[in-house]
């Protein structure tokens, strides 16, 4: 018997056909999915940005809760209030020493007034620098203040002595004459001292 050979011989070494997926279709689908995710993300971010207050509004609303700075007039009144208190304390020192030296120690009024003024001036300077104007210690400011006080001493002393002399000639008691003279001289000196110290020496705005 003769063997019949097939017209199409079988190739045992032939590679089987590979069933590769459709890469272009898969990539297209993945790209579309990513586009959908990006769109959703952008939509959410836009919604959050719309709901969130604008930075300008936040700053404005925050600033609305902050107290406005005090007007300059309030600062002047505050300094004047403290200055008057400091002046009152120094006046007690000044007047007290003046009366003690004049009446208890039997010295002349001009001498008593000079000593009282010196100690009252030092008291006023310390209180005003540290409390009224809250200024740093400065040799320059100290010398300026002492020069101002020296000038005001001449004014105050001159007024006090003049008024005291006039009232004594009008037959007023020594106590009344000295007190009235002191008040007038002290009043003028206090007004000038406040203006010069606040706007010139300590330069408070």
Query: Distance between the two ends of the chain, CA-based, in angstroms?
Result: 131
Q: How far is CA 10 from CA 2, 15, 17, 18, in A?
A: 19, 12, 15, 19
Query: Above pLDDT 90, what percent of the chain?
Result: 27
pLDDT computed for residue 40 by the predictor: 56
pTM: predicted TM-score of the whole model, two decimal places: 0.51
Element containing residue 182 per DSSP (H, E): helix 174-196
Residue whose structure tokens are 């959703």: 40
pLDDT of 197 > 50? The answer is yes
Query: How many beta carbons lie within 10 A of that of residue 170, not counting itself?
Result: 9
Query: How many beta carbons lie within 10 A of that of residue 94, not counting itself?
Result: 24
């Amino acid at each position: 018997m003769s063997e019949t050979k097939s017209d199409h011989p079988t190739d045992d070494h032939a590679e089987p056909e590979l069933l590769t997926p459709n890469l272009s279709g898969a990539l297209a689908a993945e790209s579309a999915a990513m586009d959908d995710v990006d769109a959703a993300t952008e939509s959410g971010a836009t919604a959050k940005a719309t709901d969130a207050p604008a930075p300008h509004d936040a700053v404005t609303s925050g600033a609305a809760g902050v107290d406005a700075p005090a007007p300059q007039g309030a600062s002047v009144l505050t300094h004047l209030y403290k200055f008057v208190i400091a002046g009152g304390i120094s006046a007690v020192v000044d007047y007290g020493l003046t009366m003690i030296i004049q009446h208890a120690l039997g010295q002349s009024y001009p001498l008593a007034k000079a000593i009282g003024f010196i100690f009252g001036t030092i008291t006023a300077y310390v209180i005003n620098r540290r409390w009224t104007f809250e200024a740093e210690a400065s040799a320059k400011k100290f010398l300026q203040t002492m020069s101002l006080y020296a000038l005001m001493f001449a004014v105050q002393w001159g007024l006090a002595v003049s008024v005291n002399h006039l009232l004594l000639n009008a037959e007023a008691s020594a106590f009344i004459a000295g007190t009235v003279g002191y008040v007038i001289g002290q009043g003028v000196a206090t007004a000038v001292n406040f203006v010069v110290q606040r706007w010139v020496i300590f330069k408070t705005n």
